[in-house]
């Protein structure tokens, strides 16, 4: 883009993550340093604000104190879930009139506001919508570009190696469970379910469990008075990339319940969703979907389903399901995340001033180099690699098995990592 950048706009969209406020703070600070003459605004409540022309200016006071935003969670300008290509949904919500194209309404509003660069901060849905908008702008010769930042606590955006806010979400989820795990002392035979929020949060569930177990390792216990590490440890971790074999796992977990009088399970919000939906549809129930076509996970309710199934199989006296998502996703970023956010935000400004569009992040196809990745490459739902060494090591440590059918069709346990070593040829 040869046009001089005179005005930029920011919007945050989708669910919250511990990077939204921080990203805006670093973006404002970098523009103030590198291009102090550039005017800035923020669209209120994401794409909803863009369609409605609802924005707030970045004043001199905000510029001067922009780094304050980097120490906060949430988003100062608000979020929403809007898909610009879902015309029916936009009309239904009163964001556009019948017969209007939301992409054109958004593009025209950007031109009306004099915006040269739009910075979108969000996950896969936000950035695929940004891709739709960027493509529309290019095809119709609108003189502006879109530069995105990859926010998702699930860390599930391809080709981004590490999305912004994910490390913090794992640490905060671990802190959350350090308190609620004590609920297993409220009743005999207590089953405690930690449901980790996110449709494709296999990585986050694993990382949260890993962070939690590191906290446990630094905690003193008094086993002589029944205060044991084993009672508070993680006893099972279930992610979307692996099936939950209820009957086989119940046999293993029942022994733990008998020993410690409690069982603690970490489960992804998206684990086993397909199987649960099939059961719901067999009962004649309709699973509602959001504007992006995703099943409404609050209606599928994986945590309650897993709790009910294992509660019956383990003869639990009390089953409790705790969701750490709202605690974790609205947190301020940790230092490790803040450093990554700052590096990506500063690169995003560099790209914007050079007229380079795309989603700025660690490109895993280029050795993790921070650069603008073409919008066409951005995809959500990047699966967690369950063959990851540290994940399999954790499963071995907690005694969780993999299962395979034998020649009789029965499920037999196979412990991950416990493979026969090949004998070297003499």
Are 22 and 338 in contact, with CB atoms under 8 Å apart? yes
Q: What is the DSSP string of 127-142?
A: HHHHHHHHHHHHHTT-
Q: Which of 89, 132, 154, 156 is catalytic?
A: 154
Alpha helices in 124-267 (DSSP H): 124-139, 166-180, 202-217, 229-232, 246-260
CB atoms inside a 10 Å sphere around CB 332: 18
17: DSSP letter: -
Q: Tell me if the bond preceding 159 is cis, omega within 30° of 0.
A: yes
Of the CA atoms within 13 Å of residue 411, those in its CB half-sphere come to 14
Distance of alpha carbon 30 from alpha carbon 69, whole angstroms = 13
Q: What is the DSSP string of 37-92?
A: T-EEEEETTHHHHHHHT-EEE--HHHHHTGGGGGG--S-TT------TT-HHHHHH
Distance of alpha carbon 287 from alpha carbon 275, whole angstroms = 13
Are 385 and 230 in contact, with CB atoms under 8 Å apart? no
420: Cα separation from own chain's centroid: 37
147 pairs with which residues across the strands?
119, 358
Are 333 and 19 in contact, with CB atoms under 8 Å apart? yes
Decide: residue 56, CB within 10 A, 0-12 exposed, 13-18 middle, 19+ buried.
Answer: middle
154 is catalytic: yes
- Of 167, 173, 164, nearest to 123 (Cα)? 164
CB atoms inside a 10 Å sphere around CB 92: 12
Are 69 and 42 in contact, with CB atoms under 8 Å apart? no
Catalytic amino acids? Answer: 154
């Amino acid at each position: 883009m040869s046009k001089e950048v005179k005005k930029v706009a920011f919007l945050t969209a989708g669910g919250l993550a511990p990077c939204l406020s921080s990203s805006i703070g670093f973006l404002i600070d970098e523009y103030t340093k590198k291009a102090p003459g550039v005017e800035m605004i923020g669209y209120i409540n994401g794409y909803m604000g863009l369609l409605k022309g609802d924005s707030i200016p970045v004043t001199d006071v905000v510029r001067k104190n922009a780094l304050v935003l980097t120490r906060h969670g949430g988003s100062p300008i608000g979020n929403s879930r809007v898909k610009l290509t879902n015309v029916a949904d936009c009309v239904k919500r009163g964001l556009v009139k019948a017969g209007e194209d939301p992409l054109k309404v958004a593009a025209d509003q950007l031109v009306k506001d004099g915006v040269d660069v739009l910075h979108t901060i969000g996950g896969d849905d936000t950035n695929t919508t940004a891709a739709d908008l960027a493509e529309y702008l290019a095809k119709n010769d609108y003189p502006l570009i879109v530069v995105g930042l990859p926010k998702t606590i699930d860390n599930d955006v391809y080709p981004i190696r590490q999305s912004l806010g994910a490390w913090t979400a794992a640490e905060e989820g671990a802190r959350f469970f350090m308190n609620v795990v004590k609920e297993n002392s409220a009743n005999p035979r207590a089953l405690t379910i930690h449901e980790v929020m996110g449709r494709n949060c296999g990585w986050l569930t694993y990382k949260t469990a890993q962070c939690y177990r590191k906290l446990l390792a630094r905690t003193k216990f008094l086993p002589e008075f029944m205060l044991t590490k084993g009672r508070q440890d993680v006893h099972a971790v279930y992610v979307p990339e692996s099936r939950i074999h209820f009957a086989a796992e119940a046999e293993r977990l029942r022994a733990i319940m008998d020993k410690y009088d409690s069982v603690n399970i970490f489960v992804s919000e998206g684990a086993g969703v397909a199987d649960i939906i099939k059961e719901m549809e067999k009962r004649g129930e309709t699973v509602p979907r959001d504007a992006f076509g995703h099943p409404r996970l609050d209606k599928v309710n994986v945590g309650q389903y897993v709790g009910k199934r294992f509660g019956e199989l383990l003869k639990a006296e009390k089953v409790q399901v705790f969701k750490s998502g709202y605690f974790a996703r609205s947190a301020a970023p940790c230092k490790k995340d803040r450093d990554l956010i700052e590096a990506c935000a500063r690169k995003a400004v560099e790209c914007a001033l050079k007229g380079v569009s795309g989603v700025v992040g660690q490109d895993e196809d280029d050795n993790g180099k921070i650069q603008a990745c073409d919008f066409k490459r951005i995809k959500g739902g990047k699966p967690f690699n369950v063959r990851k060494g540290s994940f399999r090591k954790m499963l071995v440590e907690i005694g969780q098995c993999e299962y395979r059918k034998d020649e009789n069709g029965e499920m037999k346990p196979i412990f991950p990592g416990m493979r026969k070593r090949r004998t070297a040829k003499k």
